[in-house]
A and B are shown apart, each in its own frame.
Chain A
Amino acid sequence: MSLTDRIAQGLESGWNVTDSALLTQNLTAEADVVVIGTGAGGGTTAEILARSGLSVILVEEGRLYYQKDFKMDEQTSYANLYQEGMSRVTRDGAIAILQGRCVGGSTTVNWTSSFRTPAPTLNYWAEQFGLDELRPDAMAPWFDGREERHSMAPWQVDPNVNNDILRQGCEKLGYSWQIIPRNVKGCWNLGYCGVGCPTNAKQGALMTTIPGALDNNARLFHSLRADRLVMNEDKIDHLEASAFADDGVTPTGIKVTLKARHFVVAASAIGSPGLLLRSDIPDPHQRIGKRSFIHPVNATVAQMPQRVDPFYGAPQSIYSDEFNFRNGVDGPVGYKLEVPPLHPGMSSGVIPGHGETQINNMAGLPHMQSVIALLRDGFHPESPGGTVSLRDDGSPVLDYPVSDYLWKGIREAFHTMAEIQFAAGAEKVRLMHLDSDWYTNWTDAKAAIDQLPMAPHRVRLFTAHQMGGCAMGSNPQNSVVNGFGEHHQVSNLSIHDASIFPTSIGANPQLSVYALAARNSTRLAQRLSRAAS
């Protein structure tokens, strides 16, 4: 339970870290590889390349926040650590998008759930997208390696009450449930993973691959946005980037030019297609930004007789896959069941309401329990996903129309979640829906769920998992990169993040990103080292 901070020590020891807010003049730098993004994909890539002896520059739009900044406070964390200060939404505003924007990316703020890519998903990719080399057996060593690197193991401590209610409800109804593997070392079981781990227990990119890369002489620029990759003939010549002031949002006007032999884009499933579109990267089949997936999430909340204290304890420790692949991989939409932590700011923002109703909702927080369903989108013709495009100002935005196929699954998931909560002894249950009352028994809830309109805005929808938009596949006509994340048209460009997933995953995606990035970076390191020798 060491309190020695890895980042503070590294900075002290002379890591090559540039806070771009402090730059007073334009700058040009060069390395073997420029890696754009410092999350699950970028961090892994930078560490593996740097360890192999290549010179690496890491670029991060957000700022470097670490233990000194992680004070278990929602407001400062949402403002500083999340995309668009936690206000990111789909184009029509109907789906809230939770996504990290800081060194470590979403791994700095995720709830530590660490699942392998489900075997049916990998097999579906092999069959549908020509990705035979990603079959479960071939990926197993990469999952093993990343589980070790990030200290992932099933949670050994008792689940908190919030999670245990999901377990109890599943037990009563005969649904399967399991314990969630978490990427933590010496976890204090506090419950603040989502606002930056205050104890450095979370083994996200910030505590593992970023220090690993910097120890091996990588250079990190933070507070620096990648604006545009500039081509020279058929290759990328350099990256144009611009600095933000120390508030993380105000441009300072300082420009940074980064040259490299190879460029790895790992700027997330919204950021990566955005950067490629801004850069006019060759896209002969118009695939960039297409087939974006989000694991659409709907939720119910329950009032329990016992104290739940849903703000304390490991936020996610129990899940159920009872409904995830029940209809086969490509039948009616499946969903994974999990639990979210409930702190007062987040709860008041996601439970729709105002005035006396809302204060009554909030007063029940210590007895409140919530279940979420994560829909496995992208495995069916009626789930083609969304599209990332550019706004007038060049920033990326996700359009995600919810199809009838998905609405059907959302209604079913409401049924399942309410039933589980009543089975576990809930006094009342309400849906995250503008028209929902609190229902005091399963019969009333069931009747209401059958009647309530499943429509944008009225159903409160969320996503914490953005995937796709630069899909991998063996056929360049329907994909952007091959099975190694190598761009089909531009030879010195790779993409190493969740944007290369050709469908959603069916599980929280961090381990899928770590493992693929590790595999693809190992190959890239060999390729680049060979070329240099």
Chain B
Amino acid sequence: MQKQIPDPSGHPQFADLNRRSFLKTGLGGAVFLGTVSVTAGLSGCATQPAGRLSAVGTRMDASYQFRFLNEDDIALFEALLPAMIGPGLPEQPQARNLAIAGTIERIDAGIHKFGPANQKELRQLFDLLNFGLTRVTVARVWSSWPNVTTAEADAFLERWRTSRIGLFNNGYIALTKISNVAFYGYRDFWHLSGYPGPPQYAVDALPQFQNA
């Protein structure tokens, strides 16, 4: 049905037809998101938490067990975080990988505490972004996440930020909020916001910081 037209950047782009289906998604959005999770499950996408991941294990804290994020979600965040955090990530490759891996672990630990209702919402969002058909038609991200460049990830975030469809704004807020809090809220990255941490005199004086 849809005709692919190569755009100057070499990425395929759908013609007008896609615009209509995009808008339609916005109108029936809530229902549509609900069906994606089911579809993604049936089509064999990863739905179990990743546990210990052998593939990316070398970059992850060996003691960390994922409770919510599956392998596809991890790939999603590995693609998004360079755009999300941008120049805040270290440039040195090993430090960069550690920063990304640690942030994804903290995202997972945070979502674990969100409880079932919001986990269900996030599951639908992540499935929508990970499932090929909806990734292309709804998020307009043409490559699978491991092949998405930082510029493409940024363009995706920018589309959802500036969209007039509230559902996409909501998706943007959800993705940025969990990523930003997991990154900027962590002590290793406090220096990026000029936050010196809790006052040292209080840390020295208070009993809960002793025997640490």
Across the interface, which residues of A come within 8 angstroms of B199, CB to CB? 190, 312
Kindly state whether residue A188 has any CB partner on chain B within 8 Å: yes
- Shortest A448–chain B CB gap in Å is 16
A392 to B112, CA, bound (A): 20
Residues of the A chain whose Cβ atoms lie less than 8 Å from the Cβ of B207:
3, 5, 67-68
Stretch of B2-10, B49-57, B134-142, B181-189 on the interface side: B181-189
A343 at the interface (CB under 8 A from B): yes
Let me know if B95 is at the binding interface, CB within 8 A: no
Residue B195 contacts which of A89, A94, A311, A354 (CB distance < 8 angstroms)? A311
Q: How many residues of B contact A (CB 8 A)?
A: 55
B206 and A199 contacting across the interface, CB-CB below 8 Å: yes
Whole-angstrom CA separation of A89 from B178 in the bound complex: 13
Task: Assess whether A198 is interfacial by the CB under 8 Å rule.
Answer: yes
Complex Cα–Cα for A114 and B121 (A): 36
Bound complex: CA A343 to CA B154 (Å): 25
Binary CB contact string for chain B from 192 to 209 against chain A (1 if under 8 A, 0 otherwise) = 111100110011011111
The minimal Cβ–Cβ distance linking A352 to chain B, given in whole angstroms, is 6
B41 CB–A CB distance under 8 Å:
no
- Closest Cβ–Cβ distance, residue B113 to chain A (whole Å): 3
Q: A345-B185, A358-B86, A362-B192 are in contact. Are A434 and B162 (CB under 8 A)?
A: yes
Min CB–CB distance B51 → chain A (angstroms) = 16
As a 0/1 sequence over residues 71 to 100 of chain A, the CB contacts with chain B under 8 angstroms (1 = contact) are 111110011100011111100111000000
Among A80, A312, A356, A391, contact of B86 (Cβ-Cβ < 8 Å): A356
CA distance A366 to B203 in the complex (A): 20
Which residues from chain B contact A311 at a C-beta distance below 8 Å?
195
Closest chain B residue to A456, Cβ basis: B166
In the complex, which residues 327-367 of chain A have their Cβ closer than 8 Å to any Cβ of chain B? Answer: 343-349, 352-356, 358-359, 362-366
Given contacts A85-B110, A343-B195, contact A358 B180 (CB under 8 A): yes
Nearest-neighbor residue (CB-CB) of A88 within chain B? B118
Knowing A190-B199, A198-B202 touch, does A354 contact B181 (C-beta < 8 A)? Answer: no
| B174 CB–A CB distance under 8 Å | yes
Q: Do B174 and A93 touch (CB < 8 A)?
A: yes
> Interface code A437-469, partner B: CB below 8 Å = 1, 0 otherwise?
000000000000000000111101000000000
Asked if B170 and A75 make an inter-chain contact with CB atoms under 8 angstroms apart, the answer reads: no
Q: Tell yes or no: B44 within 8 A of A by CB.
A: no
Report if A137 contacts B (CB, 8 A).
Answer: no
For residue A70, CB closer than 8 A to chain B, the reply is: yes
Smallest Cβ-Cβ distance to A199: which chain B residue: B206
Which residue of chain A lies nearest to B199 when distances are taken between CB atoms in the complex?
A190
> Is the pair A344, B110 in contact by a Cβ cutoff of 8 Å?
no
**Contacts of A79 on B, CB cut-off 8 Å?**
109-110, 113
- The reply to whether A356 and B115 contact each other, CB–CB distance below 8 Å, is no
Determine which of B83, B181, B205, B209 lies in contact with A348 in the assembled complex, contact meaning CB atoms within 8 Å: B181
A48 smallest CB distance to B (angstroms) = 31
Interface flag for B88 (CB, 8 Å) = yes
Q: Which A residues are CB-close (under 8 A) to B106?
A: 75
Across the interface, do B118 and A84 meet the contact criterion of CB distance under 8 Å?
Answer: yes
Distance (whole angstroms) from the CB of A265 to the closest CB of chain B: 21
- Interface SS of chain B: helix
| Residues of A contacting B: mostly | loop
Give the complex CA separation of A86 and B183 in angstroms: 16
Chain A residues with Cβ under 8 A from B62's Cβ?
none
Smallest Cβ-Cβ distance to B197: which chain A residue:
A72
Interfacial chain B residues near A73, Cβ < 8 Å: 187, 198
Instruction: Tell me which residues from 32 to 90 in chain A have a Cβ below 8 Å from any Cβ of chain B.
Output: 67-75, 78-80, 84-89
Q: Is B173 an interface residue (CB 8 A)?
A: yes
Q: Which residues of A contact B83 (CB under 8 A)?
A: 354-355
- Answer whether residue A23 sits at the interface, using C-beta atoms and an 8 A cutoff: no
A434 pairs with B113, CB closer than 8 A: no
Is A529 positioned at the interface, with any CB of B under 8 Å from its CB? Answer: no
Contact at B177–A349, with CB atoms within 8 Å? yes
Q: Does B69 make an interface contact (CB < 8 A)? A: no
CB distance B181 to A75 under 8 Å?
yes
Contact A363 B193 (CB under 8 A): yes
Q: How far is the CB of B208 from chain A (nearest CB, A)?
A: 5
State the CA gap A248–B198 with chains docked (Å).
26
CB-defined contacts of A188 to chain B, threshold 8 Å:
202
Is B93 part of the contact surface with A, judged by Cβ < 8 Å?
no
State the Cβ distance, B197 to closest chain A Cβ, in Å. 8
Q: Given contacts A344-B193, A359-B85, is CB(A69)–CB(B184) below 8 Å?
A: no
- Name the B residues within 8 Å of A68 (CB-CB): 207-208
A348 contacts B185, C-beta separation under 8 Å: yes
Q: Which residues of B contact A94 (CB under 8 A)?
A: 166, 170
Q: Does A490 contact B (CB under 8 A)?
A: no
Q: Which listed residue, A199, A355, A395, touches B84 by the CB 8 Å rule?
A: A355
14 more A-B residue pairs beyond the given contacts A92-B170, A199-B202, with a C-beta to C-beta distance below 8 A:
A67-B207, A75-B182, A80-B113, A190-B199, A192-B198, A247-B113, A345-B185, A354-B83, A354-B154, A354-B176, A354-B179, A397-B117, A434-B172, A457-B166
Closest 3 CB pairs of A and B: A345-B185, A85-B113, A457-B169
6 contacts between A and B (CB under 8 A): A5-B207, A85-B115, A345-B185, A353-B176, A359-B192, A457-B170
